[in-house]
Structure 1
Amino acid sequence: MKKNLLVLLFIFSSLFVFAQKKNESYRYHIKKATSPLVIDGVMDEESWLQAESAKDFYMMVPMDTSFANVLTEVRMTYDNKNIYLIAICYDTNPGAYVVESLKRDFSFNKNDNFLLFMDPFDGRTDGFSFGSNAAGAQWDGSMYEGSKVDLSWDNKWTSVVTNYPDRWVFEAAIPFKSIRYKEGIKEWGINFSRFDIKSGEKSSWAPVPRQFPSASLAYTGIIVWDEVPPSAGRNISIIPYVLGGVSKDHVNGTPIDYRKDIGGDVKVALNSSLNLDLTVNPDFSQVEVDKQVINLNRFELFFAEKRQFFLENGDLFANFGYSSIRPFFSRRIGLNAPIRYGARLSGKLNKDWRIGVMDVQTGDVDEASLPAQNYGAITLQRRVFSRSNIAFMFVNRQSTGSLSKNSTSPDFNRNVGLEYNLASSNNLWSGKAMVLKSFTPDQTQDNVVQAAHLQYLSKNWTFYLQEEYVGKNYLAEVGYVPRNDYVKINPKVSRNFFPQSGNILSHTVQLSSTYYFDGSMNRTDNESILSYMVTLRDQSSITAAFNNSYVKLLKPFDPTNIGKGLLATGTEHQWNTASLDYVSKPQSVLTYQLGGSYGGYYAEGTRYSFTSQLGYRFQPYVSLAIASSYNDLKLPQPWGHNSFWLVGPRADVTFSNTLYFTAFVQYNEQLKNMNINTRLQWRYKPASDFYIVYADNYDPTSSFSVKNRQLVVKWTYWWNL
């Protein structure tokens, strides 16, 4: 199976990668500005009147066979410092625009919005995205894997939105210093996207088939510069921070801890496409807390990276492998020990080569006997054919300092890997083939990973097949590999239907199975899912699913994860589950999601679960939401009857698009904890912020007594040299 799948990958790559760029004929000619521009959302400068107009957008949703009904017009120009864009988004449908709030990096499907997708190398795999919703909230992110946008990426640019009765106008200035591009290239990949929720219409300037996101770089047009884009010049940014804080641990009764920290980052553009990031004594106290879940899983949960230092070109490091086989996972760094300093070199060497080099040093923790650690990673990516690439990665974790002599962990752990990523020119075929090997003292056998997948994605059909092998002694201490010693096979097929009329926009039936085997190919567990999803023309959706699950435990396991007892190794468990989910239409100021499931569970038990999310917005300033989940487990003794609530109310108040307040509460009955996190953020200048963060944890089983509490005040400034 593994060999056959790998052969298919390379056969299909040779058949499909040489095709010409799909939207080669869609060209926008950008001319240098002849007069100064003021970013005010008004198209009254002479430079705008002389700029070429991009219009006649193509509809993507509900159908992709005609021009858009909702009109959009885009113009672009530039000077020696900035790229300028103005988008006129016409609106002939009655009623207010649909927006959540003025919060940055909004949810695409819940806001009337306009987005720019820019591929400065025209490599059709990575780039940048900028945009806004109809109220002026900014969106910016780095793009990777051909269509994905990492909204954690944040940079320095300005924009204004002006509203009129029949249109809204987005005007922006994007500094050349804020993006990475190759000097001397006069053609970049580009596309514009518009989503109008009231009409339920999504459109793009260069046409994109509806099964792909509008961000798909395989379908960008071309922006043609009248002159070679100007050099960004000296591009050095210094981003210092000053922090003061106070915290108190009530559980251990320690004295009040007063914090006085200073540190910062330096960003040095070695050229227009290669960046060096340096950090000293970084602090991430302003990063939003993770959303908790009821954990009934046998394996470690994954939480995404949110720290700014690790984000630019983060896909080079973080996306090597699969979601459950990551040789590098940056959240391992600084998890229980402070980061002292670090450096990251990342970006493009040219159109075909990308590089990433990282080195981070953490301090030791005497009270926990944790030695200082040095974390290093090197990754190199070479584009082959039109959109595919071959990537290499090396990851190293090395104990340093005096405490390393007394540490129980290995002195080092290293990983070396190679992978081939297939992406056809038309995006219909994608795949991957990879191999990894770990190096740890006294572990020389069964320390290899091999995995591959192939996917065909058309408008009507999706075919997917994946296989994985993880050796018994494979170890990735700086990665995320929740389980070892298995062979996995995962086939999936789905069929989409698009009625020409009626209330149903589309409906999909999908069948998938995931099988796990031990080294002798004995089945250890599997899950098969048959699902049916209906999307209505008002963009609400209903999903029904039936699951069949089988587990043969390879380790003792507590099915409640609260310490009531363990199921024995080798015991077998099988059950069925039925589920139903509903998502309401996003046009209403009151939105909701409801989901429920009922079925069996371990030890011939039963499990009932219910999830909900209720939201209400006072456009565009306040967005209120409350998410909840309930799990009811009925098992034989010693577990008995257990139920767990997880409730998370949240309030986002955006006084303007530069002043935000967020309050987030999570009550987790399984963990017996309630936490409160509030954050006031004032973006007093582009990419420069002032934060006030307050957080505490309570014990709901002890009259909500305080466990710990902290208050942090932080100031940052983005200074361009």
Structure 2
Amino acid sequence: MKKLLPYLFLIFSLPSFAQKINESFQYHIKPTHSKIRIDGILDDEAWKNTETGKDFWMMTPMDTSLSHVPTEVKLTYDDNFLYVSAICYEQVKNKGFVVESLKRDFSFGNNDNLWLILEPFNDLTNGFVFGVNAAGAQFDGIISEGTNLNANWDNKWHSETKYHGDHWTFEAAIPFKTLRYKAGETRWGINFSRLDLKSGEKSTWAKIPRQYFSITLAYTGVLIWDTPPPTPKNNISVIPYTLGGMSKNFQDGSATTFRKDFGLDAKIAVSSALNLDLTINPDFSQVDVDKQVTNLSRFELFFPERRQFFLENADLFNNFGLSSIRPFFSRRIGLGVPIDYGARLSGKINNNLRIGAMNIQTGINSAENRPAQNFSALVLQQKVFKRSNIGLMMLNKQSLNYDANINKDFSDYNRNIGLEYNLASSSNLWLGKAMYLKSYSPNVKNDDYVSAFNVFYNGLTFNGSVQYEYVGKNYNPEIGYVPRTGYHKVNIPIQYNIYTQTPSSKIQYHAPAIASYAYWNTDKVMTDLQNQFYYIVALKDRSSFYAFYETNYIRLPFAFDPTNEGNKYLLAEGSEHRFNTFNVNYLSTPRKRYTFGFTGTYGGYYGNGKLLSLSGDVGYRFQPYVSLSANINYVSIEDVKVPVKDQADQILKSKFWLVSPKIDITFTNRLFWTTFIQYNEQVQNVNINSRVQWRYKPASDIFLVYTDNYIPGNLNIKNRAIVLKLTYWWNL
């Protein structure tokens, strides 16, 4: 290790010189000395002598010409705010806009909208998104690794829109306190992305090839400040909450439990680029309920983090590793036990070095004999070359006052260390990763590491990748997400896109594709081989269809219930299974108020059984105020043969439904009511979650959340809860 230190120091000291691909796209921003009223009406004096950004480039369906749907944007600033305005003209006039609702953080592809992409560090890898749909619903998010968008990030800013028949206007004020940037920097990355569903065009101010996302930071233009943007003083925000509520467990007959709680979060800008988040007695009862899915796999499913405390610079922690090898997964913290307090320091130390440091303390759960536990994480990420980086992660989970006799279901400690290199070429054509992870647990001394790498090629007509993973059978990330251990894996997907050149064609592109996934255990015996043969058709109205044929070979590494319903008869460890399936998927155009999608799978299954899985999504919009949707999933498993020692073979079969209707009512872009019902026969539960949110001030909310859980069939109630919560964002 001592021999490596000089080389690590050299790498972490490397400067980066990133010449922008879109250097010629420049916007010169100047300050305003007159007041701007954020009302969506662009008649303020400040806009009259401001540079106009226009001549947007079409990104889809073609990327070789200027957009047919004009957009004009302007920016200015004062001591406190960055101001943005836009005029979004329409090719199809007086037909109204296409939006889902007025709800915050809408889906980009289902709304007429405009996004501002900001890259304050000019590093081509990290940035912010602020946008609106044509009805005025807000969207904000953070970008990491050049293209990864986290829409769960939520912050304080102001905006309004107005619809005029042949165009709509947008006006916003973004506080400098909301942004993170290097003091004194006069060059930021910037782009605008617009989607007009009626014409079928997606366009950007700075040109981006159509195979990439419109938020791809490798293609941002340049925002040139005449003087450095102001550095906010006393950038401290305190966000207290108070709540009251009650809950009752009807199954155990216990008395109603009443809640009266108080806590707070704080955001302290250590510098304009480095932020300290603090939390005391946090509560996350208002967070959207997870969408349930049918699980026929042998492994745990992944659900994303939604809690605000964990979201600032979340990529530093959550993007370390691969999608199925995550040494850190914040949802492991506070699972079944309250968080007492926590602190997160995250951001940039300089233009090339980012840091993420976290410490969280949880309480005791006497019912589970769970001790108090402390969670610590440290991540350093050094930019190298133009857009690549090297990351170092150290994790520690420590039980306090641990007693092996009392706390035997929990470990004394668990530690992880990881090193990774993330490759990103200047044009985003090549991406990749190489990493090494090692865990430290009591009484474990071997085969407790991970090594993996991948390389992606993202060409216009051809794209593909190669990925290799090795996960030791004793690798143990207790605060991570690694559903499978003890294997080697190789996967190779390849796709060839054929773009239509005829303007009148309804098809944007069609593509044959193949993918192969192979697993071996640590004894190098193959346990899984999956081959997929695809055909994909994408239409210019943003509808799509694909079909694929899949072949499977599985040698079970452990006994398995193929219905995932808790059957006592299990397919044996080491048993071999071969089956094939045919799969189709269709997604309709989002232009129409009625939308639908369909997914179907039919074919073989474990134990020479048969599988039929049908899933449909339907929706209708009374835009912009009401959105109705439902997911209906039906699964039929037949004739699964399970050998049983000294008995006749057992034949398993199962049929179950997952039905999830959802009603979104958005009275205004500040008052929302969402009701989500989930009838899930596989897990024997019916859940009703109804949430009212009133954003009475920017980033300040009142929530009323009602939750019920029932037993399917007789609909006997399991438990019920109601919570009223008030939060207030207070800038000091």
Q: Same fold (TM over 0.5)?
A: yes
Distance between the aligned counterparts of 2:170 and 2:239, measured in 1?
Answer: 28
Task: Tell me which amino acid in the other structure corresponds to 1:577.
Answer: T
Preserved CA contact (<8 Å) 2:18 2:123: no
Preserved CA contact (<8 Å) 2:582 2:601: yes
Matched, 1:523 2:526: yes
> Out of 523, 527, 543, which is 1:540 matched to?
543
Preserved CA contact (<8 Å) 1:64 1:210: yes
Q: Paired residue for 1:284?
A: 284
3-state SS of the aligned residue for 1:694? strand
Distance between the aligned counterparts of 1:23 and 1:402, measured in 2?
Answer: 57
3-state SS of the aligned residue for 1:416? strand
Task: Tell me which amino acid in the other structure corresponds to 1:72.
Answer: T
3-state SS of the aligned residue for 1:340? strand
Alignment of 1:634-645 (within 5 A): 634=638, 635-636=640-641, 638-645=650-657
Structure 1 residue 70, shift from structure 2 partner: 0.3
Distance change >3 Å, CA 590–CA 574, structure 1 → 2: same
Q: Paired residue for 2:11?
A: none
Q: Paired residue for 2:664?
A: 652
Matched, 1:625 2:615: no
Task: Tell me which amino acid in the other structure corresponds to 2:463.
Answer: T
Preserved CA contact (<8 Å) 2:375 2:396: yes
Distance between the aligned counterparts of 2:166 and 2:151, measured in 1?
Answer: 30
Q: Paired residue for 1:262?
A: 262
Preserved CA contact (<8 Å) 1:371 1:404: no
Q: Paired residue for 2:455?
A: 454
% identity of equivalent residues: 54
Q: Paired residue for 1:681?
A: 693
Task: Tell me which amino acid in the other structure corresponds to 1:689.
Answer: D
Q: Report how many residues are paired.
A: 704
Any unmatched runs of 5+ in structure 2? 1-15, 642-648
Distance between the aligned counterparts of 2:519 and 2:372, measured in 1?
Answer: 37
Matched, 1:717 2:721: no
Q: Paired residue for 1:10?
A: none
Preserved CA contact (<8 Å) 2:402 2:412: no
Matched, 1:705 2:708: no
Q: Paired residue for 1:418?
A: 419
3-state SS of the aligned residue for 2:229? coil
Q: TM-score, normalised by structure 1?
A: 0.97
Preserved CA contact (<8 Å) 2:376 2:396: yes
Give CA deviations for 1:473-493 in whole Å, capped at 9, x if unaligned.
Answer: 100000000011100001111
Task: Tell me which amino acid in the other structure corresponds to 1:182.
Answer: K
Structure 1 residue 641, shift from structure 2 partner: 2.4
> After TM superposition, which residue ranges in structure 1, 4 or more long, deviate above 4 angstroms?
402-405
Alignment of 1:293-442 (within 5 A): 293-401=293-401, 406-408=406-408, 409-442=410-443
Distance between the aligned counterparts of 1:461 and 1:158, measured in 2?
Answer: 42
Give CA deviations for 1:333-370 in whole Å, capped at 9, x if unaligned.
Answer: 01011100000000111110000000000001111111
Distance between the aligned counterparts of 1:316 and 1:653, measured in 2?
Answer: 35
3-state SS of the aligned residue for 2:30? strand
Distance between the aligned counterparts of 1:525 and 1:381, measured in 2?
Answer: 35
Distance between the aligned counterparts of 1:480 and 1:281, measured in 2?
Answer: 25
Q: TM-score, normalised by structure 2?
A: 0.95
Alignment of 1:459-478 (within 5 A): 459-478=460-479
Structure 1 residue 672, shift from structure 2 partner: 1.2
3-state SS of the aligned residue for 2:497? strand
Task: Tell me which amino acid in the other structure corresponds to 2:69.
Answer: V
3-state SS of the aligned residue for 1:528? strand
Structure 1 residue 407, shift from structure 2 partner: 1.1
Preserved CA contact (<8 Å) 1:372 1:404: no
> Out of 543, 555, 559, which is 2:558 matched to?
555
3-state SS of the aligned residue for 1:309? helix
Task: Tell me which amino acid in the other structure corresponds to 1:713.
Answer: L
Distance change >3 Å, CA 403–CA 154, structure 1 → 2: farther
Task: Tell me which amino acid in the other structure corresponds to 1:452.
Answer: F
Task: Tell me which amino acid in the other structure corresponds to 2:555.
Answer: K
Distance between the aligned counterparts of 1:451 and 1:523, measured in 2?
Answer: 18
Task: Tell me which amino acid in the other structure corresponds to 1:319.
Answer: N
> Out of 569, 572, 579, which is 1:575 matched to?
579
Q: Paired residue for 1:566?
A: 570
3-state SS of the aligned residue for 1:102? coil
Cα RMSD after superposing both structures: 1.1
> Out of 703, 708, 725, which is 1:691 matched to?
703
Task: Tell me which amino acid in the other structure corresponds to 2:719.
Answer: N
Q: Paired residue for 2:85?
A: 86
Give CA deviations for 1:48-89 in whole Å, capped at 9, x if unaligned.
Answer: 111100000000000000000000000000000000000110
Q: Paired residue for 1:13?
A: none
Task: Tell me which amino acid in the other structure corresponds to 2:339.
Answer: I
3-state SS of the aligned residue for 1:59? strand
Structure 1 residue 521, shift from structure 2 partner: 2.0
Structure 1 residue 639, shift from structure 2 partner: 4.5
Task: Tell me which amino acid in the other structure corresponds to 2:731.
Answer: N
Distance between the aligned counterparts of 2:202 and 2:182, measured in 1?
Answer: 31
Distance between the aligned counterparts of 2:498 and 2:489, measured in 1?
Answer: 30
Give CA deviations for 1:483-533 in whole Å, capped at 9, x if unaligned.
Answer: 111000011110001111222111111111110001232211021111111
3-state SS of the aligned residue for 1:548? strand
Structure 1 residue 402, shift from structure 2 partner: 5.8
Give CA deviations for 1:283-304 in whole Å, capped at 9, x if unaligned.
Answer: 0000011111111111111111
Distance between the aligned counterparts of 2:342 and 2:39, measured in 1?
Answer: 39
Distance between the aligned counterparts of 2:543 and 2:561, measured in 1?
Answer: 38
- Deviation larger for 221-230 or 526-535: 526-535
Any unmatched runs of 5+ in structure 1? 1-16
Task: Tell me which amino acid in the other structure corresponds to 2:353.
Answer: W
Matched, 1:482 2:494: no
Distance between the aligned counterparts of 1:55 and 1:630, measured in 2?
Answer: 49
Matched, 1:63 2:62: yes
Structure 1 residue 19, shift from structure 2 partner: 7.3
Distance between the aligned counterparts of 2:363 and 2:543, measured in 1?
Answer: 50
Task: Tell me which amino acid in the other structure corresponds to 1:527.
Answer: Q
Distance between the aligned counterparts of 1:298 and 1:182, measured in 2?
Answer: 47
Distance between the aligned counterparts of 2:404 and 2:318, measured in 1?
Answer: 27
3-state SS of the aligned residue for 2:335? coil
Distance between the aligned counterparts of 2:346 and 2:28, measured in 1?
Answer: 30
Distance between the aligned counterparts of 2:226 and 2:155, measured in 1?
Answer: 26
Structure 1 residue 410, shift from structure 2 partner: 2.1
3-state SS of the aligned residue for 1:218? helix
Structure 1 residue 18, shift from structure 2 partner: 7.5
Q: Paired residue for 2:53?
A: 54
Distance between the aligned counterparts of 1:216 and 1:709, measured in 2?
Answer: 44
Task: Tell me which amino acid in the other structure corresponds to 1:674.
Answer: V
Task: Tell me which amino acid in the other structure corresponds to 2:598.
Answer: L
3-state SS of the aligned residue for 2:650? coil
